[in-house]
Amino acid sequence: MKTILFRSLLLFMTIATCSVIATAGPKGHDLRADRRDIRTDTRDIRNDRRDIRRDGRDRRADARDYRDDKKDGASKQELRSDRRDIAGDTRDIRGDRRDARKDVRDRRADVRDLRQDKKEPGQ
């Protein structure tokens, strides 16, 4: 009876020790690189949004210039060229907005993963 009790106690202590050792470890070091990546992604997204807004302002200014040229009676070739430029700028801005939206979604997923990693015990 004593040997069974002693062996079961020894087995329990071995399992407890192994589980404590498995959860101990450098927890924050792995997360530091992830936080740095999220920070740089946030910075990049902010810069992209600024660029998109600037491009939108430039496109609106081009549209105003186009209307002024049309009133002044510019040649059809110039007006056609201006229309093509404005349409191309519009397409570029739409593509940039889609890219920025995708980057935001990716960043949100990274933040969710980081939060989940914080909750899980380290390995």
Answer for the pair 93, 52: CB distance below 8 angstroms, yes or no.
yes
Reported as a single tens digit per residue, the pLDDT across 111-122 is 998 888 877 665
- Spatial separation of the C-alpha atoms in residues 123 and 108, rounded to whole Å: 24
Answer for the pair 11, 77: CB distance below 8 angstroms, yes or no.
no
pTM of the predicted structure, to 2 decimals: 0.65
Segments making up each domain of the chain, as ranges? 28-119
Reported as a single tens digit per residue, the pLDDT across 61-94 is 999 999 998 888 888 898 999 999 999 999 999 9
- Spatial separation of the C-alpha atoms in residues 85 and 77, rounded to whole Å: 12
